[in-house]
């Protein structure tokens, strides 16, 4: 099955700086890569996703890049704000599969 | 607010007991997924239902079972509970049967087994 590794496990950044989280996956059939943000006491919330026919996708301060050859994808948050502090999860899934395989999560802390 | 409702928010019970967790999906969503989140295992897929039928199974123990009712709400039943079953249990829903339609998670049920 799919194995997703996520780094780093914790990330502390100064407000206004950028944050980058990286994930690798093992199954070359995976073609859907969502990112979730989980705030304390809440469920994971989808913030952005990318499919394998696209190399990069951007939504305001958030961007995701995908390198299918190297089997890795990354989340980039620019101009970080205190409300970006949360746990971020990457995930991967193949088209003919039904379950998302999640990374272990990255705890992001934005220092004011 | 994701539109996915889970009850109860917290559940404390003893080993050997049985509990039922409930999930109401977003309006219009036909798929319901159950995930378990623990500190050492992360988010683990348990089971998926689509329009009342079981669609996929993950790492779900035989002591656990689930169903999706005609009104599309779902229940996860956990029996013969063990200390290691203490975790957050999340329900998610999506419009379709696969990941062409994104998952939306509820806020979870925190289960504590003492």
Q: pLDDT tens digit string along B54-79?
A: 999 998 999 999 999 999 999 999 99
pLDDT score, position A63:
98
Q: Name B89's bridge partners.
A: B36, B109
Q: What is the mean pLDDT of residues B12-22?
A: 98
pLDDT score, position B30:
95
Q: What confidence tier does A96 reach under pLDDT thresholds 50, 70, 90? A: low
Q: Is A97's CB within 8 Å of B90's CB?
A: no
Q: A111 Cβ partners below 8 Å, 6+ apart?
A: A12, A13, A14, A15
Q: What is the mean pLDDT of residues A38-43?
A: 92
Residue in A closest to B88 by C-alpha? A43
Q: Is B98's CB within 8 Å of A49's CB?
A: no
CB distance from A40 to chain B under 8 Å?
no
Residue in A closest to B39 by C-alpha? A104
The torsion region of residue B39 among left (phi > 0), alpha (psi -120 to 50) and beta comes to alpha
Q: Is A34's CB within 8 Å of B103's CB?
A: yes
- Mean of the per-residue pLDDT values for chain A? 93
pLDDT score, position A1:
75
Which of A94, A60, A91 has its CA nearest to residue A73?
A91
Q: Is B99's CB within 8 Å of A89's CB?
A: no
pLDDT score, position B41:
72
pLDDT in tens, B25-56: 999 999 999 999 997 778 999 999 999 999 99
Q: What confidence tier does A90 reach under pLDDT thresholds 50, 70, 90? A: very high
């Amino acid at each position: 099955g799919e194995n997703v590794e996520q780094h780093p496990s914790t990330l502390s950044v100064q407000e206004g700086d950028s944050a980058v989280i990286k994930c690798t996956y093992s199954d070359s059939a995976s073609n859907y890569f969502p990112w979730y943000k989980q705030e304390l006491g809440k469920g994971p919330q989808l913030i952005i996703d990318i499919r394998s026919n696209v190399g990069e996708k951007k939504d305001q301060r958030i961007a995701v890049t995908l390198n299918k050859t190297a089997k890795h994808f990354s989340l980039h948050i620019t101009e970080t704000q205190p409300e970006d502090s949360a746990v971020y999860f990457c995930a991967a899934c193949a088209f003919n599969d039904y379950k998302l395989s999640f990374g272990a999560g990255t705890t992001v802390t934005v220092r004011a | 607010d994701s539109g996915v409702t889970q009850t109860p928010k917290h559940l404390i019970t003893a080993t050997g007991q049985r509990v039922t967790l409930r999930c109401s999906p977003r309006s219009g969503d036909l798929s319901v997924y159950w995930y378990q989140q623990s500190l050492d295992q992360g988010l683990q897929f348990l089971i998926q239902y689509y329009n009342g039928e079981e669609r996929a199974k993950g790492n779900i123990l035989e002591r656990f079972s689930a169903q999706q009712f005609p009104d599309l709400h779902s229940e996860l039943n956990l029996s013969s509970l063990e200390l290691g079953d203490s975790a957050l249990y999340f329900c998610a829903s999506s419009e379709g049967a696969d990941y062409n339609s994104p998952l939306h998670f509820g806020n979870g049920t925190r289960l504590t087994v003492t």
